[in-house]
Each structure stands twice: as structure tokens, then as C-alpha cells.
């Protein structure tokens, strides 16, 4: 997600031409609640006569959906540390989809945000944070789908999801993420799509997917001074400052690519993949500018990843597991280390296993264990050889309009946690309200505990159309 830049928009002129097609017609669309329902194709009978045949003067409009999207206002008050308004965001997402015929389809979705909190709290946030967060525009999806023989080809800005576990990302290695609110956003809103070409092939119970990402998006971590900036562990007696994030140059030699193959075997949904990429996760190199002062620079390095996922529905519960082997990721070392950039190259395995248990009382319980194991751990690596944790999600529907949810994610090594209770109220079919809290605690140098001064309570109201 970026600020609107006219020069950048000019460089995307071909996409702008596609977007212009969106303005050439359409009709009002019925209300929708879930994002997955926002861009469905119009019913065939809506464009035809009594015999189901399209009328000549309606053929053009029948290939285009109505406008779909949502308008949402989110308000959050941070109560830990210096109490302040941390979000007063008005978010609007709008898009439509259609067909050019002969199996060629298109979709375009844009999103505009304006956050009043960064005007209200001008004395709290640094200027760089206010400029980064106040207003934004992003293309969420802009792509063409076309059949090429037995292959389905998708070209453009798109979401490519290779795995999804509760609370955190593991095998979902292609997606970049908006980390400026850590993991407190819904995943479909937190994911940053990629400009990519994707080819999919299906044969019986097999599927294959080849992707090329020539224009790479990486995690958006914001600017130092934000509520959820990814600060590094404190070094005793040393003050730290942070440079702006160094994003990869936009050139073909920085392209990412990957292959994923999957199959269904006696109810077991199995997949394996390889992905070569500029890491979407930033690495913080450091340099000492004085004996008691250090400067961190977030950057993105080349990595290679091999992974696998499995899903199996046993009826009484759903089993999910994901594992990723990562080569050549750089990680921080002890301040006493002589390494000039404070980093060491490490290979590691991340894995997670979870079960989802539904209950007759309109409730479900998800239990998850996750771990990172560093292979041939460097002696000066800050992290432990094994970093593990657990997550518990409990959801209960009180009735058709009201449900509650509790999410607890706990590190078992550093004894820090994230706790997210929330209440969801579906006021009407197209109105939804949410109320909740994002709470952090434990070791102040832990993955979650470093946000101990960012505890907040929030409310959201969304209108979908």
C-alpha cells in the first residue's frame, strides 16, 4: 500500500486503460457481507429473455458485474504507555469484474484510506509516521484471466495464497503483508498482492501452479515511531535509530518465481512448493555510529524456500500442517559480535500443525503448535536454536447475528503473548460491527512483548454493497 504518486500512475498506463473500462456501465448490485461474495458473476438469467437467451442490446452489460465493495470506519484507542488515538481510519474498497468473451475475464479492485488519527495526534507521532499513514491508495486486484489450452493464465496484481494458519503466516510465502498494525488486521486486508503472472494446470486429482513476479512487493513496515514498528531487541546502554526501509529495485533481475504442485489422495490434500525470492520479511542490518549509538537499516535479501502443506478432514476435526525450509536468510547477532552489519546467514525450518474442532453448539476451537528450528546455529545468533509457541482460537456464535472470538498466541521460549478478544455483530445483511482489543505482554524483547505499550481497544463499522 502506497501513497498516490502521479508519476507512478503514469508508469502503469496499461493498467489505467483497463481500469477505464470499469467506468463504461453497470447497474446497482445486491448487498454482500463477506469479501468472497463481493465480486460474484451476475446470474445468467438476469441478462436473458424468457428462454434464457441474451438480448442483443444487453450483451455488453451482461459481461460486467455491478460495483461491489465496502466502506468501513475503524476507531482505536491505545491505552498502554502514553494513551492516544492510534486509528480513526475511513477505508473504502470498490471494484467490479467482467468478461470479454471466449473465456477471458477481468477484475479490478482499488482501495482508498484516510486516517484522521494522524491529524489528531500530531504531537505524538513523528512527521514521517504521519505522512506514511494519513492517506493511501492501493490497487488490491487488477488482473486478466485467460485460458491457454489446458492452462489457466492470470496476469496482473493478484493474491497468491499458498498456506494459511491461524494467527500467523507460515507457508504463505508469496504474500507480502502490511505490518504497520502487526497481525491485528484480518488476513484478507493485511495481505499485499503481487504483480505477477500465474499459470495453473489441473488434471484429475493433480494441480500445478507456476508463478513469476517481475514487480516485487515486500512487507510494509512503516516508519520508526509507529505503534507496531518492528523494533530490534534493546542493546544495553546503546540508543537506536532506524533508516527508511530499503525496497528492492524494480527490475527484471529482481524477479521472484516459484512452482507449486498438489494432489488429493484418499482425502489428504497435499502440496509441495519451491520459491526463490527477495524475502518479503525485512532484515535489519546495523552499524554503530558511536560507541553508544546504533543505526538499523531494514533491507530485503535473496532466499530460497522449499515447503509442503497438508489438510485432512476427519469429520470430527480438521487437521492442517505446514512446513517451510528456508536457505540464506540473514538474522541478527549479539552486539558483542564482530560482524560489521550485525547479521549472520542462517538456514531454518518453520513448521506449524493445528486442528480445528467444530462443536454442535455453533462453536469451534482451533489449537496450533508452531516452531522455528535454526540449522547449524551460529554461536552469536540472538535467537535460540529452537523458537516455539502455540495459538488457541475459540469462536462461538450466540445467534445468527452475534458471535464472539478469542485468539491467544503465546511464545513458549520468551514467555510473551498476543491476546485478541472481539465481538462481531451483523446488524443487517450489509452492515457489520466489531468491537475488540489487541493486547500484548511478557518479555519486552520478545516477538509479541515488544508491543507492550501498544495495547488498544477498537471498534469497526462496515457497510458492504
pLDDT tens digits, residue range 89-109?
Answer: 999 999 999 999 999 999 999
pLDDT band at 69 (very low <50, low <70, confident <90, very high): very high
Q: What whole-number distance in Å separates Cα of residue 188 and Cα of residue 70?
A: 13
Q: What is the pLDDT of residues 363-422, one digit of tens each?
A: 999 999 999 999 999 999 999 999 999 999 999 999 999 999 999 999 999 999 999 999
**DSSP of 343-371, one letter per residue?**
EEEEEEEEEEEEEEEEETTTEEEEEEEEE
CB–CB of 213/252 below 8 Å? Answer: no
Split at pLDDT 50, 70, 90, the class of 5 is very low
Q: What is the pLDDT of residues 270-294, one digit of tens each?
A: 999 999 999 999 999 999 999 899 9
Which pLDDT tens digit goes with each residue over 20-55?
A: 333 333 333 333 444 344 444 434 343 344 344 444
Burial letters 271-289, b for 16+ CB under 10 A, else e: bebebebbbbbbbbbbeee
* The three cell numbers locating residue 29: 448490485
Task: For residue range 419-456, list pLDDT tens digits in order.
Answer: 999 999 999 999 999 999 999 999 998 999 999 999 99
- Grid look-up 486509528 returns 87
Provide the mean pLDDT of the chain: 88
**Percent share of the chain, pLDDT over 90:** 80
Environment class of residue 115 by beta-carbon count within 10 Å: exposed (0-12), middle (13-18) or buried (19+)? buried
- Of the candidates 264, 345, 275, the one whose C-alpha atom is nearest the C-alpha of residue 311 is 264
- In this predicted structure, which of 194-198, 235-239, 370-374, 432-436 has the lowest mean pLDDT? 235-239
Q: Which residues contact 75 (CB under 8 A, 6 or more apart)?
A: 85, 87, 88, 458, 459, 460
**Rg over CA atoms, the chain:** 23
> Rounded to the nearest 5°, which phi and psi values hold at 77?
-120, 120
* Residues belonging to the chain: 465
Q: First and final CA of the chain: distance in angstroms?
A: 23
**According to the model, what pLDDT value does residue 53 have?**
43
Q: Does residue 324 contact residue 307 with C-beta atoms inside 8 Å?
A: yes
Cβ contact 70:463 at 8 Å:
yes
Opening angle at CA 139, ends 135 and 142, nearest 5: 170
Average pLDDT over residues 126-145: 97
**420 in Cβ contact with 184 (< 8 Å):** yes
Max Cα-Cα span within the chain: 82
Cα–Cα distance measured from residue 186 to residue 56, given in angstroms and rounded to the nearest whole number: 43
Asked if 382 contacts 333 with a C-beta cutoff of 8 angstroms, the reply is yes
Q: Is residue 268 over pLDDT 80?
A: yes
Cα separation values, 274 from 132, 208, 304, 323, 326, Å: 34, 12, 8, 12, 10
Computed from CA positions of residues 253, 257, 99, 104, in that sequence, does the dihedral angle turn out positive or negative?
positive
Residue 237 vs residues 234, 240, 291, 297, 380: alpha-carbon distances, Å: 9, 10, 9, 20, 19
pLDDT of the residue at 52:
42
Q: How far apart are CA 222 and CA 242, in angstroms?
A: 11
Amino acid at each position: 500500500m502506497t501513497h498516490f504518486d502521479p508519476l507512478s500512475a503514469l508508469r502503469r498506463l496499461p493498467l489505467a486503460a483497463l481500469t477505464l473500462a470499469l467506468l463504461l456501465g453497470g447497474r446497482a448490485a445486491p448487498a454482500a457481507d463477506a469479501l468472497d461474495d463481493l465480486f460474484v458473476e451476475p446470474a445468467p438469467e438476469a441478462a436473458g429473455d424468457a428462454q434464457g437467451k441474451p438480448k442483443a442490446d444487453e450483451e455488453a452489460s451482461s459481461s460486467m458485474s455491478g460495483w461491489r465493495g465496502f466502506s468501513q470506519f475503524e476507531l482505536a484507542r491505545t491505552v498502554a504507555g502514553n494513551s492516544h488515538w492510534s486509528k480513526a481510519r475511513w477505508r473504502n474498497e470498490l471494484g467490479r469484474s467482467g468478461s470479454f468473451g471466449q473465456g477471458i475475464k477481468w477484475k479490478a479492485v482499488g482501495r482508498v484510506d484516510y486516517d484522521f488519527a494522524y491529524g489528531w495526534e500530531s504531537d505524538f507521532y513523528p512527521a514521517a509516521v504521519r505522512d506514511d499513514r494519513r492517506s493511501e491508495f492501493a490497487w488490491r486486484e487488477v488482473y486478466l484471466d485467460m485460458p491457454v489450452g489446458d492452462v489457466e493464465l492470470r496476469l496482473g496484481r493478484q493474491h497468491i495464497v499458498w498456506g494459511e494458519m491461524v494467527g500467523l503466516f507460515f507457508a504463505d510465502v508469496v504474500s507480502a503483508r502490511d505490518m504497520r498494525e502487526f497481525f491485528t488486521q484480518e488476513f484478507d486486508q493485511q495481505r499485499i498482492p503481487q504483480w505477477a503472472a500465474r499459470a495453473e494446470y489441473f488434471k484429475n486429482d493433480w494441480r500445478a501452479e507456476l508463478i513469476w513476479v517481475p514487480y516485487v512487493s515486500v512487507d510494509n513496515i512503516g516508519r520508526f515511531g509507529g505503534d507496531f514498528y518492528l523494533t530490534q531487541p534493546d542493546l544495553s546502554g546503546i540508543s537506536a535509530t532506524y533508516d527508511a526501509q530499503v525496497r528492492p529495485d524494480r527490475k527484471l533481475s529482481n524477479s521472484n518465481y516459484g512452482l507449486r504442485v498438489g494432489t488429493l489422495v484418499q482425502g489428504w490434500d497435499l502440496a509441495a512448493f519451491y520459491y526463490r525470492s527477495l524475502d518479503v520479511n525485512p532484515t535489519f542490518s546495523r552499524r554503530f555510529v558511536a560507541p553508544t549509538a546504533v543505526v538499523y537499516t531494514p533491507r530485503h535479501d535473496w532466499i530460497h524456500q522449499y515447503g509442503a502443506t497438508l489438510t485432512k478432514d476427519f469429520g470430527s476435526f480438521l487437521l492442517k500442517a505446514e512446513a517451510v525450509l528456508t536457505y540464506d536468510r540473514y538474522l541478527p547477532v549479539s552486539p558483542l559480535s564482530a560482524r560489521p552489519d550485525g547479521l549472520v546467514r542462517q538456514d531454518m525450518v518453520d513448521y506449524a500443525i493445528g486442528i480445528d474442532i467444530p462443536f454442535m453448539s455453533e462453536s469451534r476451537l482451533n489449537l496450533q503448535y508452531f516452531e522455528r528450528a535454526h540449522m547449524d546455529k551460529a554461536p552469536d545468533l540472538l535467537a535460540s536454536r529452537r523458537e516455539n509457541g502455540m495459538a488457541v482460537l475459540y469462536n462461538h456464535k450466540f445467534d445468527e447475528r452475534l458471535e464472539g472470538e478469542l485468539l491467544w498466541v503465546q511464545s513458549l521460549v520468551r514467555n510473551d503473548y498476543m491476546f485478541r478478544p472481539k465481538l462481531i455483530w451483523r446488524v443487517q445483511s450489509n452492515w457489520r460491527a466489531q468491537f475488540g482489543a489487541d493486547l500484548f505482554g511478557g518479555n519486552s524483547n520478545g516477538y509479541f512483548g515488544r508491543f507492550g505499550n501498544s495495547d488498544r481497544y477498537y471498534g469497526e463499522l462496515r457497510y458492504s454493497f
